[in-house]
Amino acid sequence: MTDSLGNWRRTHYSKRIDPEMSGEEIIVMGWIHEIRDLGGIIFVLLRDRDGTIQITAPSKKISKELLEEIRKLRKESVVAVKGIIQESGKAPGGYEIIPNEIKMLNESKLPLPLDTTDKVRAEIDTRLDSRYIDLRRPTSSAIFKIKSRMLHSVRNFLEKGEFIEINTPKLVASATEGGTELFPITYFEREAFLGQSPQLYKQMMMATGFDKVFEIAPIFRAEEHDTLRHLNEAISIDLEASFCDQEDVMHILEAVVHTAIGDVIEHCSDELEILGVDLEIPKIPFERIDYGDVVDIVNSKGVNMKHGEDLSRAAEKAIGETMDGYYFITGWPTDIKPFYVMPNLETPKKSCAFDLMYKDLEISSGAQRVHKHDLLVERIKKQGLNPVSFERYLAAFEYGMPPHAGWGLGAERFTMCMTGVNNIRETVLFPRDRRRLTP
């Protein structure tokens, strides 16, 4: 038998109650986290979004009917409790609630696919299959509260900096940087693809006079490999700004990271504590290291890397052992960076591209872009691509394209840095990877 909500509404979340409110009648709502029946007294731990509340039902103080009702409650059922707050040194938060009335709003099937009390550890696949239950565990939900705060902070920061938030299409006709990482889809009579990056669109926005734009949206990458750092659908925080070079947008990126971490420390102290993370605001400016020096360091650590190669996983690990915290790698070889990256004027073999790293993890790539039409065509050809497939994009460079620069910051990778989790799947509600397409 279940009750209807009727005119009951939650008056307080667990976090908003304190022992000084002793004597007040309140309504709390949530899930039965644990229940302990000692005969003469029943303890129920009710869990809401913010924590748990102890409901104490002593047979001497409450009616027989109510006691029987409480006795019938099962784990993870949804209930509402009206009762009186009472100070209690032993209960979580220093208070307990003596119930006057209980509404049983919905029952849970038992046994549960996984335990919500963290007493029994479940494999990540089991957790992801029943993600809605997994997210009842504070150690899982804390990650998403932090991610939410980070995204809020980034948006806030960029809006204050007079950036315009844009939305670009995710259904696209051709590849951004060549064909390998694309998901083909059927678009009526034609083939289309899921967008791997808003790169070309945000650059076209530079030809509009918008000057400073950003987008927070999914990117789709058909990454074949199954790693702890790659997803097939991720959220990219993308930014592009006109009349800027790479140094300018590196400053913005540093400030974004610095501000977001500060904001998370300020607003998510409970979540950081649940995760056991001692987050510190990184000092800016971040250290910069030239690609050439990276190659030397990597080799000195016994990992083979030639000049002109991208960082392998082993190389990332080797450099991550030397460099702590956040740092930029600059001076990347032009040949291994995408066609839209500007070569250095004096030394064209080197580019104006940078990566932002956190220890051994790449979290952002950016650059000053090529804004000259003819150079762009030359770069596209040099990378073995056909300028014809970039016709509409290239046209934007013929009618007054200002110099510009930008970056893309992976929201999940950045969340990994802040939460200390080492599997990127932990930072996505419903991850998409090589093997997983449901739920």
The least distance separating ligand ATP from the CB of residue 229, rounded to whole angstroms, comes to 6
Site for ligand ATP in 359-388 (CB under 6 A): 362-365
Residue-wise burial string across 378-404, b where 16 or more C-beta atoms lie within 10 A, e elsewhere: ebbeeeebeeeebeebbebbeeebebb
Handedness of CA 193, 197, 199, 201 (dihedral sign): positive
End-to-end CA distance of the chain: 30
- Sequence-distant (≥ 6) Cβ neighbours of residue 343 within 8 angstroms: 334, 349, 350, 351, 352, 370, 379
Region class of 187: left (phi > 0), else alpha (psi between -120 and 50), else beta: beta
Phi then psi for 322, rounded to 5 degrees? -90, -40
Which partner in Mg ion, ligand ATP, none is near 337 (CB below 5 to 8 A by kind)?
Answer: none
Closest distance of CB 231 from Mg ion, Å: 14
Out of 408, 415, 417, 431, name the contact with ligand ATP by CB under 6 A: 408
In the complex, the smallest distance separating the C-beta of residue 262 from ligand ATP, rounded to whole angstroms, is 20
The C-alpha atoms of residue 2 and residue 79 are separated, in whole angstroms, by 9
Contact in structure between 130 and 124 (CB atoms under 8 Å): no
Instruction: Give 45 or 357: the residue with its C-beta nearer to ligand ATP.
Output: 357
Instruction: Report the C-alpha gap between 428 and 416 in whole angstroms.
Output: 10
Shortest approach of ligand ATP to residue 410 CB, angstroms? 2
Q: Are 268 and 432 in contact (CB under 8 A)?
A: no
Residue 147 contacts ligand ATP per CB under 6 A: no
Across-strand partners of 333? 350
Convert residues 249-288 into a mask of x (bound to Mg ion by CB under 5 A) and - (unbound).
----------------------------------------
User: Whose CB is nearest to ligand ATP?
Assistant: 410
Q: Which residues pair with 99 in a beta bridge?
A: 83
Asked whether the beta carbons of 149 and 409 are under 8 A apart, the reply is no
Partner interacting with residue 350 (select from ligand ATP, Mg ion, none; CB below 5-8 Å by kind) = none
**What would the two tokens of residue 221 be?**
């990458």
* Residue (32 or 357) nearer to Mg ion, CB: 357
Q: Is the Cβ–Cβ distance between 410 and 364 less than 8 Å?
A: yes
Task: Compare residues 219 and 252 and give the one whose CB is closer to Mg ion.
Answer: 219
User: Shortest approach of ligand ATP to residue 303 CB, angstroms?
Assistant: 16
Pick one of Mg ion, ligand ATP, none as the site partner of residue 413 (Cβ within 5 to 8 A by kind): ligand ATP
- x/- map, 334-363, ligand ATP, by CB under 6 A: ----------------------------xx
Tell me the closest approach of the beta carbon of residue 406 to Mg ion, in angstroms: 13
Per CB under 6 A, the list member of 12, 103, 147, 413 interacting with ligand ATP is: 413
Binding status of residue 246 toward Mg ion by CB under 5 A: no
Regarding 410 and contact with ligand ATP (CB under 6 A), the answer is yes
SS (H, E, C) 120-133: CCCCHHHHHHCHHH
Question: Considering the rule CB under 6 A, would residue 223 count as an interface residue with ligand ATP?
Answer: yes
When binding is defined by CB under 5 A, the residue of 52, 140, 232, 365 that contacts Mg ion is 365
CB of 289 to Mg ion, least distance (A): 16
| 305 binds ligand ATP per the rule CB under 6 A | no
Q: Count of residues for the chain?
A: 439
From the list 389, 293, 298, 285, the residue with the least C-alpha distance to 327 is 285
Which is it for the CA torsion 327, 332, 338, 340, positive or negative?
A: positive
Smallest distance from ligand ATP to CB 363, Å:
5
Chosen from Mg ion, ligand ATP, none, partner binding at 230 (C-beta under 5 to 8 Å by type)? ligand ATP
Q: Note whether 231 binds ligand ATP by CB under 6 A.
A: yes
Q: Which is nearer to ligand ATP, 99 or 410 (CB)?
A: 410
Shortest distance (Å) from residue 416 CB to ligand ATP:
9
Question: Contacting ligand ATP (CB under 6 A), which of 412, 415, 419, 425?
Answer: 412
CA pair distance 102, 262, nearest whole angstrom: 41
Closest distance of CB 200 from Mg ion, Å: 16
The amino acid sitting at 320 is G
* Binding interface with Mg ion (CB under 5 A): 365
* Binding interface with ligand ATP (CB under 6 A): 221, 223, 230-231, 234, 236, 362-365, 408, 410, 412-413
